[in-house]
Amino acid sequence: MFYTLKSKLILIFSLLLVVPLLTMTVIFTQHSKNNVELITKSSSAQTLEQYAGYLDMLGGQVEDAAFQVLSNQLIQRWIGVRSGTRIEPSQTEQYQLNAEVKEYLSQVTLNLTNIASISLSDRNGFVIGNDSVYHHVKYNNKDWYSYVLEHGPSWVGTHLDPYQPHSLQNIPVNSLIIPLVELDSMTVQGIIKINVESSLIQQPLSKIEMEQWRTVQLVNKQGLIMAGNESDSLRSADPFGAQPAGQALLNVLNSPQWSHILQSEQTKDAFKLKNDDGTSSYWFYRKLDALNWIIIGEITEKELFRQIDQMSRTMLAIGLGLLLLTLAAAYWISASMTRPLSKLSQMMRRLEMGDFQAAEKVSVARRGETGYLLHAFERMAGRLNQLIHDEFTLKLRKQDAEYKALLMQVNPHFLYNTLETIGALAAQQKTEQLLDVTESLGQMLRHSLKQDSDTILLSDELQQIEYYTFIMETRFEDSLFFSIEKDPSLEKATIMKFMLQPLIENAVKYSKEKLRYAHIRISMQRTSSDFMELSISDNGEGMSEELIKELITVAYSEDPAKVLGSPGSKIGLRNVLVRCRLYYGEAFSVNIKSQLQQGTTISLTLPVNEEDSSYVQSNAGR
């Protein structure tokens, strides 16, 4: 295909357009991706830095409030009363002290707008907040409670706190928990819990104006989500109010990069990580020292380069359109030059396959040099077709004459042997047997004189063989035995006339010359849907390897004229093989197996035709 002139022109035009376009697209895409990656890293770092500054400010403000409350003398006096280190006041004085503490906590809360509420809890489960006092609070059952008492201040993730002002009880909060220390004895007597509405943390997080962000999360060093635009911590059973990380974040937390983040002295950085689905993501992080949290965000590579990929696809689509236009133009230009040559090539290809009529019918324009060349070739093809047709007809007639001549040679050979048998019976005055043999011979002669067809049903041919075997068994009596194995599926198959009888005559002749008892076996079988095999076996003297090779040569390459002129003693078997070759062509094959003094088997493979002889006649000229 690619060696034609048209294909070469189309290929050249296509390469001149496609190669520069693809090169430009690849270079542009790669350069743009590099620039976008640098810009994204810079802008993402700035975005996280701004948010981190806001959280550090918020965390610092909450810590200042916590230490302000802890160092207040009123709070220290309340701690001493609750811990029993001071003289226990009267119940009225306790109520007065609690009221003063509530008023102080309310003042601190009002002065610091980012703080939702402040509460103090002692070890006995007594909690005092901005506006309420609670007994038997179960803070001490929380894991974060014991953690803070043992390790110091800690932030708790988004959760609901029922021990704060009623209006805030259904609002998610984040809390800073610090130990409630009695400064005189430096003993921990409980905790201070400062609540900040989670919206102050989550809303700025959700307003990060970058569409390519897939997720931004606040996590603690244990890998639990403390707040984020995808978290639902209200459903969390974690004592710290934290939510387990999603799958994408889990991949980061289980990767070596997470250990590097925790151990690194750098407060911010970025890295690339491959996801389970085969895609890649860019991860950015920023550590928050005030809250002991880490801001970590993901931008998928697909979203990051989405616009560039869309532009690349657009350029490729434009390139494809230009390529189609180029192919159309190249086809139009090349067709005007190569159409006449293509028609000439088409005519020559059909002529090579032997389709002369189709080659003659190819319409051509008789303009220019190529048109004249095509017209001359068309006339040459017509003349060549006529010459071949005449030669083929002459060859068929010659083969038919040779076949008829061979067929006529069979009949005298058979008649000679049969008349010899009749003469022997007459000499022995076996009148009844003579009549039977004569009637069998008459049936065979009546059949052989029919010239209406060269083929016969296999069943009719076997009937003639039975007439023949009756004559032979009558002549040789018990010293000759025939067996015929029929295949019912071949009942309607057709074969050539007088094909089996000469082979059986040869088997009888070469078996009786050396043996006192001869056994001739005739069998047939269908080897496939299109072919059958006829076999004649004897127990005679057998054949030499040289004779077998000679007969095979006769079957496939011998000139029929040589068989016509050969001596009578060599006509029978050669005659049948040459007739089969002339009649069946390449559909015929022969196999001869023989061992000296043990016998011979001749197997003929023929096409199965159950209707007429059209198949074999169509192959007669091969």
CATH classification of the domain holding 227: 3.30.450
Given a contact cutoff of 8 angstroms between Cβ atoms, the answer to whether 192 and 177 are in contact is yes
**Would residue 155 count as lying in a domain?**
yes
CA gap 529, 542 in Å, rounded? 32
**Domain match, 483 and 607 both:** yes
491 and 565, same domain (yes or no):
yes
Q: Is residue 607 part of a domain?
A: yes
Q: How confident is the model at residue 194 (pLDDT cuts 50, 70, 90)?
A: very high
Residue corresponding to tokens 């901005």: 130
Which of 243, 274, 304 is the endpoint of a domain? 304
Q: Which residue has the higher pLDDT, 168 or 622?
A: 168
Domain that holds residue 561: 453-618
pLDDT, tens digit, for every residue of 497-530?
778 888 888 888 888 767 778 899 999 999 988 8
Structural domains in the chain (count):
3
Please answer whether residues 130 and 106 qualify as being in contact, where contact means their C-beta atoms are separated by less than 8 angstroms.
Answer: yes
**What are the tens digits of pLDDT across the range 132-152?**
888 877 777 777 787 888 888
Residues in Cβ contact with 517 at an 8 Å cutoff, skipping those fewer than 6 apart = 478, 479, 480, 481
- Distances 196 to 18, 115, 400 between C-alpha atoms, Å: 62, 5, 114
Residues 573 and 555 in one domain: yes
Which among 269, 286, 304 is the end of a domain?
A: 304
User: Is 520 a member of any domain?
Assistant: yes
What is the dihedral sign for C-alpha 422, 423, 425, 430?
positive
* Pairwise CA distance, residues 194 & 125, whole Å: 17
- Residue 387 maps to a domain: no
DSSP conformation letters of 366-421: --HHHHHHHHHHHHHHHHHHHHHHHHHHHHHHHHHHHHHHHHHHHHHHHHHHHHHH
The reported pLDDT for the residue numbered 555 is: 76
Q: State yes or no: pLDDT of 566 exceeds 60.
A: no
Let me know the angle formed at the C-alpha of 110 by 106 and 116, rounded to the nearest 5 degrees. 80
Shared domain check, 507 and 604? yes
Please report whether residue 439 resides in a domain: no
Q: Which two tokens stand for residue 616?
A: 């074999």
pLDDT given at position 53:
85
User: Please, which residues bridge with residue 156 across strands?
Assistant: 175
Cα separation, 243 vs 259, whole angstroms? 20
CA distances from 377 to 4, 6, 338, 367, 558 (A): 20, 22, 17, 14, 38
**Average pLDDT estimate for 384-408:** 62
* Between 1 and 146, the higher pLDDT residue: 146
Whether residue 139 sits in one domain with residue 280: no
Exposure string over 401-414, b if 16+ CB within 10 A, otherwise e:
ebbeebbebbeebb
The answer as to whether 602 is a domain residue is yes
Six-digit token pair at 261? 């983040």
> Do 573 and 502 contact (CB within 8 A), yes or no?
yes
At residue 323, φ and ψ (nearest 5 deg) are -65, -45
For residue 233, tell me if it sits in a domain: yes
- My answer on whether 191 and 222 are in the same domain is no
Same-domain pairing of 282 and 168: no
The pTM of this model reads: 0.45
Do 295 and 275 lie in a common domain?
yes
User: How far apart, in Å, are the Cα atoms of 519 and each of 9, 346, 487, 539?
Assistant: 76, 62, 20, 6
Distance CA 426, CA 428 (A): 5
Strand order in the sheet with 117-122: 133-134, 127-128, 117-122, 187-197, 173-182, 154-159
Q: Which of 426, 546, 466 is nearest to 554 (CA)?
A: 546
221 and 195: one domain? no
CATH code of the domain containing 535: 3.30.565.10
Q: Strand, coil or helix: what is 196? A: strand
The pair of three-digit structure tokens given for residue 86, joined into one six-digit string: 């001071």
| pLDDT per residue as tens digits for the range 539-563 | 888 888 888 888 888 777 656 655 5
Higher confidence at residue 12 or residue 98?
98
Average pLDDT over residues 422-450: 79
Name the β-bridge partners of 484: 522
* 168 and 227, same domain (yes or no): no
Q: What does the pLDDT look like over 76-87, one tens digit per residue?
A: 888 888 887 777
Last residue of a domain, one of 272, 304, 336: 304
Task: Say what percent of the chain tops pLDDT 70.
Answer: 71
The answer as to whether 588 is a domain residue is yes
Q: What is the mean pLDDT of the chain?
A: 76
CATH number, residue 132:
3.30.450.20
Same-domain check for residues 483 and 600: yes
**How confident is the model at residue 523, as a pLDDT?**
93
Residues in Cβ contact with 259 at an 8 Å cutoff, skipping those fewer than 6 apart: none
Contact (CB, 8 A) for 605 and 531? yes
Helix (H, G, I), strand (E, B) or coil at 175: strand
173 and 214 co-located in one domain: no
DSSP code, position 243: B
Place of tokens 């095509």: 374
